[in-house]
Structure 1
Amino acid sequence: MVQWLRSLVFVVQMYLAMAVLGIVFLPWALVSRRGARSACLNFCRWVRWTARWMVGLRTEVRGTPPTGEVLIAAKHQSFLDIILIFGAVPAGKFIMKRELMFAPVIGQYALRIGCVPVDRGKRGQAIRKMSLDVARGAADPGQLIIYAQGTRVAPGFKAPYKVGTAALYQQMGALGQPCVPVGTNVGLFWPRRGILRKPGTAVVEFLPVIPPGLDKKTFLKRLEAEVEASSDALMAEAGFVSPTR
């Protein structure tokens, strides 16, 4: 009960901080993408700092975050991996659900930093639209981040890796841009839903690059193997025993 109450206070102050930073940085964000990015990076730092002393949740980034133009294909377990990945790279922009465009503060700033909204409609149409939007945003260099399973997946559960990730890999590979896989264990401490935040060390791990040039099937198989192996190892390190998937 004490940890739940601490978590509640943490969650409330986190969203208050989001609102305050959104207002304070708004004038700069309206005239410069750098201003919007600065607001988001400051929010990431604030969340990591307050999580540590308010709920006992430490955070760690392992591996080498990319600084050039790449596709980052990551495991998604909760809001925390968004914070850790974005805070670790210089110019991150996400493939995101279109519904988030209408979320207060988050939606407006996401669009301002170059995130690409995607409909969860018919797969073929969604992939074509996503590819066109990514091509339009190519003039703004950075790290394009996609969650390869398309949604948050709780620890111990399995979900397929989406073909849209492979389509982006080939699209960006044609420009010589590689893919950087990312594993995580954050869902053990910061769940998909609910208030409780557990103490421990939440980690995202940037893995060695997958070079361009692979066919879609080979790429997806390799991506899934590497991301799942990293995530399983990180969760086991934290003491998680996975049930049968």
Structure 2
Amino acid sequence: MSYAIQWVRSLIFIISLYLAMLVIGIVFFPWALFSTRGAITACHTFCRWVRWSASWMIGLKTEVRGTPPDHECMIAAKHQSFMDVIMIYGAVPRGKFIMKRLLMFAPIIGQYGLRIGCIPVDRGKRGAAVKKMLEDVATGAAKPGQLIIYPQGTRIAPGVDAPYKKGTAILYEQLGQDCVPVACNVGVFWPKRGIYRKPGLAVVEFLEPIKPGLSQDVFMERLVSDIEQQSNKLAAEAGFKRVAS
């Protein structure tokens, strides 16, 4: 019975999440259309709403640990669910993502993505897009921010091993900036698929920055070690037990 009740609460929460996205998107749209600050405020408002509503609708508390960066840098994060996106973006002042160019044409989401500084790219042309971003920041055509990427390329459930993409090291070398690793345990409570959301404490943790100048191989070795070790610790803290293969 308790599982069924939590499942229904989870369903109501998910419906309310998308309704809130629509309402906040529409309410803030006139401001966001003419002001980057308006778009960022709208996105931060949505992040706060999701975290607040999750705490009482499904019993999922959230906590951000470490020091979120406020300077221009790359954030390389463990990605387990939509909630870690919400928590990471909401913790930094000017987050932005690399997004597929097709998303530019999505209602509301596409326009907000462009307004907050996301980088639209065609398949195979990410390097050119990043180069233009750096040039725009240097010339003042774009404001600096925190570029959020997911080194494994997709959501990975706790306890599942998946490779880190080499493109992360190429970006690190191209940008010449700090890379801030982020670990999380959010997938213990918010799975990649399905309706059910578990109550508990979801954590994302900003780790020590990796300074620029390392070789690609050394950088990747440290990035994987830092993120995986701390994510495993956070998962264990949440009561997750890895099944031996």
- TM-score (normalised: structure 1): 0.92
| Superposed displacement of residue 131, structure 1 | 2.6
Structure 1 residues 135 and 151 mapped into 2: Cα distance closer, same or farther (>3 Å)?
A: same
| Superposed displacement of residue 3, structure 1 | 0.4
CA distance in 2, matches of 1:189, 1:153: 13
RMSD, aligned α-carbons: 1.5
What amino acid sits opposite 2:33 in the alignment?
Answer: L
Structure 1 residues 63 and 140 mapped into 2: Cα distance closer, same or farther (>3 Å)?
A: same
Deviations 1:32-83 (A, max 9, x none): 0100000000000000000000000000000000011111000000100110
Contact 2:134 2:175 (C-alpha < 8 Å) held by counterparts: no
Aligned pair count reads 238
- The equivalent of 2:199 in structure 1 is 199
| Superposed displacement of residue 181, structure 1 | 0.3
For residue 198 of structure 1, give the secondary structure of its aligned residue in structure 2: coil
CA distance in 2, matches of 1:17, 1:115: 21
CA distance in 2, matches of 1:100, 1:159: 26
- The equivalent of 1:115 in structure 2 is 118
What amino acid sits opposite 1:162 in the alignment?
Answer: K
CA distance in 2, matches of 1:161, 1:137: 28
Q: Does 1:234 align with 2:237?
A: no
| Superposed displacement of residue 101, structure 1 | 3.4
- The equivalent of 1:72 in structure 2 is 75
- The equivalent of 1:217 in structure 2 is 217
CA distance in 2, matches of 1:136, 1:61: 32
| Superposed displacement of residue 102, structure 1 | 4.0
Where do 5+ consecutive residues of structure 1 fail to align?
Answer: none
- The equivalent of 1:91 in structure 2 is 94
- The equivalent of 1:129 in structure 2 is 128
Structure 1 residues 100 and 242 mapped into 2: Cα distance closer, same or farther (>3 Å)?
A: farther
CA distance in 2, matches of 1:103, 1:157: 31
For residue 64 of structure 1, give the secondary structure of its aligned residue in structure 2: coil
Where do 5+ consecutive residues of structure 2 fail to align?
Answer: none
- The equivalent of 1:45 in structure 2 is 48
CA distance in 1, matches of 2:220, 2:136: 24
CA distance in 2, matches of 1:199, 1:7: 10
- The equivalent of 2:146 in structure 1 is 143
CA distance in 1, matches of 2:111, 2:227: 30
| Superposed displacement of residue 165, structure 1 | 1.1
What amino acid sits opposite 2:38 in the alignment?
Answer: G
Structure 1 residues 222 and 142 mapped into 2: Cα distance closer, same or farther (>3 Å)?
A: same
CA distance in 1, matches of 2:244, 2:119: 35
Contact 1:116 1:133 (C-alpha < 8 Å) held by counterparts: no
What amino acid sits opposite 2:98 in the alignment?
Answer: I
What amino acid sits opposite 1:114 in the alignment?
Answer: G
What amino acid sits opposite 1:208 in the alignment?
Answer: E
| Superposed displacement of residue 133, structure 1 | 4.3
What amino acid sits opposite 2:97 in the alignment?
Answer: F
Contact 1:127 1:167 (C-alpha < 8 Å) held by counterparts: no
For residue 170 of structure 2, give the secondary structure of its aligned residue in structure 1: helix
